[in-house]
C-alpha cells in the first residue's frame, strides 16, 4: 500500500515560505557575524545587507500567519542582527586634536572605461579639488586629462596608461614622488605628496569586483590593499577609489582596521549613501567608492556627485590635515 498523497495546506505553504526566506537571510547574516565574506553568493549579497530587512520582515509575517512560534523567534533574531549590522562601522571621529595645517579637497571617480571623462573634467573645473583619483581611465581618458586639465592647476601627476578599465590616474596640486603600486589586474598607483611640509601617502585602490568565479581574485587584491594599509600605518594616508566592497564586507573592514583608517563618508554621516550603480533605477545599491583617511585627518564634508556616462557616483571629500597636538 502506498501512502496517500499529502496535500500542501495553506499553513504548510506559509511555513515553507518562511523557512526559505529566513534561511537565506540567516546564511548571509551568519557570515557577517562570523567576520567572513564566504563563497558566492554571499559576498554579492553582503553588498546590499540593509535590504535583508525586506525578506526578514516577510519571513516574520509568514511565520505570524502560520502561527509558528519558533519562526517568530527566528525572524526576530535575524532582523535584530541585520539592524545591528546596518549601523555605521568604526568610530565617528578620527580623534585628531592638533592644529589644522592644511585643508585639501579630494575627488575620486570611476569613469567606466573612460566614458565619463568629459563629465569628470567638468567636475574638476567646477569643484577644483586638490587631489583627484581616477579609475578606469583608458588611453582616451589619459590623453584628455593631459590636454584639457591645465598643468598649471595640476602640475603633479601619476598616470598609468592602460586601455579599458585597467588605467588609473592621480592628479595633484601638491608635489608628488612615486611610492610604488599595489599589484592587481587594474592599476593601483601610489605616491607621496608633500602637504604643508608633511609627507602624505596617496594610494589609489581598485581591486577586481567579487563576480561569481572571481571572488578569490577580489579577496586576494583586497588583501594586498590591507597589507599596504598596515605597512604605512605610522604616516598620514589618503586611500581612495573604487574598492568594489562596502563596510559589510570583512575584507574591506580588515583594510580599515589594519591601517587605522577611517571612511570619510562615515565620518560625514553618509555611511549608507550609495555610489553604485548610479546609471539605472534599482533599490539595490551600495557604497563601494571610498576615501579613507588616517588619524591625522578630520572630515568637513563628503558629497556624492552624479556624473554622466558612468555607473558610479564620484565622491568629493573636504579634509583637514592636523599637526601634532
Residues 82, 170 within the same domain = no
Domain annotation covers residue 232: yes
Q: Supply the pLDDT for residue 180.
A: 87
Domain annotation covers residue 92: no
- Whose CA is closest to 114, among 312, 317, 323, 321? 312
Q: Is the dihedral of CA 11, 16, 17, 21 positive or negative?
A: positive
Three-class secondary structure of residue 1 per DSSP: coil
Domain annotation covers residue 4: no
Q: Supply the pLDDT for residue 4.
A: 53
Query: Are 200 and 225 within 8 A, CB to CB?
Result: no
- Residue 137 CA to residue 140 CA, distance in Å, equals 8
Residues 63, 199 within the same domain = no
Q: Supply the pLDDT for residue 97.
A: 81
C-alpha cell read off for 108: 575620486
134 has which bridge partners?
109, 169
Residue with cell 579637497: 105
Residues 162, 300 within the same domain = yes
Q: Supply the pLDDT for residue 1.
A: 47
Domain end call among 60, 86, 112: 86
Domain of residue 130, residue span: 100-322
Domain end call among 86, 108, 136: 86
Count how many domains the chain has. 2
Domain annotation covers residue 192: yes
Residues 155, 200 within the same domain = yes
Domain annotation covers residue 95: no
Domain annotation covers residue 64: yes
Strands 237-242 and 198-205, bridge-based pairing: parallel
Q: Supply the pLDDT for residue 324.
A: 82
- Residue 208 CA to residue 242 CA, distance in Å, equals 9
Could you tell me the pTM of the whole model?
A: 0.94
Residues 82, 218 within the same domain = no
Q: Encode the chain (325 residues) as per-residue pLDDT tens digits.
A: 455 556 779 999 999 999 999 999 999 999 999 999 999 999 999 999 999 999 999 999 999 999 999 999 999 999 999 999 999 999 999 988 899 999 999 999 999 999 999 999 999 999 999 999 999 999 999 999 999 999 999 999 999 999 999 999 999 999 999 998 999 999 999 999 999 999 999 999 999 999 999 999 999 999 999 999 999 999 999 999 999 999 999 999 999 999 999 999 999 999 999 999 999 889 999 999 999 999 999 999 999 999 999 999 999 999 999 998 6
- Residue 90 CA to residue 100 CA, distance in Å, equals 23
Concatenated DSSP letters of 20-83: HHHHHHHHHHHHHHHT---STTHHHHHTTGGGGHHHHHHHHHHHHHTT-HHHHHHHHHHHHHHH
Residues 43, 167 within the same domain = no
Residues 105, 136 within the same domain = yes
Residues 177, 59 within the same domain = no
CATH of the domain at 153: 3.60.10.10
C-alpha cell read off for 137: 581611465
106 has which bridge partners?
131, 317
Residues 81, 166 within the same domain = no
Domain end call among 86, 110, 141: 86
Residues 173, 211 within the same domain = yes
Domain annotation covers residue 165: yes
In sequence order, which residues have a C-beta less than 8 Å from that of residue 23 and are 6 or more positions away? none
Residues 21, 65 within the same domain = yes
- Whose CA is closest to 135, among 209, 215, 53? 209
Within 10 angstroms of residue 189's Cβ, the number of other Cβ atoms is 23
Domain annotation covers residue 208: yes
Residues 57, 132 within the same domain = no
Q: Supply the pLDDT for residue 5.
A: 57
Amino acid at each position: 500500500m502506498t501512502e496517500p498523497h499529502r496535500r500542501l495546506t495553506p499553513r504548510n505553504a506559509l511555513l515553507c515560505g518562511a523557512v526559505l526566506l529566513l534561511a537565506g537571510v540567516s546564511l548571509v547574516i551568519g557570515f557577517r557575524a562570523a567576520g567572513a565574506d564566504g563563497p558566492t553568493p554571499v559576498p554579492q549579497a553582503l553588498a546590499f545587507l540593509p535590504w535583508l530587512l525586506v525578506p526578514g520582515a516577510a519571513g516574520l509575517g509568514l511565520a505570524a500567519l502560520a502561527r509558528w512560534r519558533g519562526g517568530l523567534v527566528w525572524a526576530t533574531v535575524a532582523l535584530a542582527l541585520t539592524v545591528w549590522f546596518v549601523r555605521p562601522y568604526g568610530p565617528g571621529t578620527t580623534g585628531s586634536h592638533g592644529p589644522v595645517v592644511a585643508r585639501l579637497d579630494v575627488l575620486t571617480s570611476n569613469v567606466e572605461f573612460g566614458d565619463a571623462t568629459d563629465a569628470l573634467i567638468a567636475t574638476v573645473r567646477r569643484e577644483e579639488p586638490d587631489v583627484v583619483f581616477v579609475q578606469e581611465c583608458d588611453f582616451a581618458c589619459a590623453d584628455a586629462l593631459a590636454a584639457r586639465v591645465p598643468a598649471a592647476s595640476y602640475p603633479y601627476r601619476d598616470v598609468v596608461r592602460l586601455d579599458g578599465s585597467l588605467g588609473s590616474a592621480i592628479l595633484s596640486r601638491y608635489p608628488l614622488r612615486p611610492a610604488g603600486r599595489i599589484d592587481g589586474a587594474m592599476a593601483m598607483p601610489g605616491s607621496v605628496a608633500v602637504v604643508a611640509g608633511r609627507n602624505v601617502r596617496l594610494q589609489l585602490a581598485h581591486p577586481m569586483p567579487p563576480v561569481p568565479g572571481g571572488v578569490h581574485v577580489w579577496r586576494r587584491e583586497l588583501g594586498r590593499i590591507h597589507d599596504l594599509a598596515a605597512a604605512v600605518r605610522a604616516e598620514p594616508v589618503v586611500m581612495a577609489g573604487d574598492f568594489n566592497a562596502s563596510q559589510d564586507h570583512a575584507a574591506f573592514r580588515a583594510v580599515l582596521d589594519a591601517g587605522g583608517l577611517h571612511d570619510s563618508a562615515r565620518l560625514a554621516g553618509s555611511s549608507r549613501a550609495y555610489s553604485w550603480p548610479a546609471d539605472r533605477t534599482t533599490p539595490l545599491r551600495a557604497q563601494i567608492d571610498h576615501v579613507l583617511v588616517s588619524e591625522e585627518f578630520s572630515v568637513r564634508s563628503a558629497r556624492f556627485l552624479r556624473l554622466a556616462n558612468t555607473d558610479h557616483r564620484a565622491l568629493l571629500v573636504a579634509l583637514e590635515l592636523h599637526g601634532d597636538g
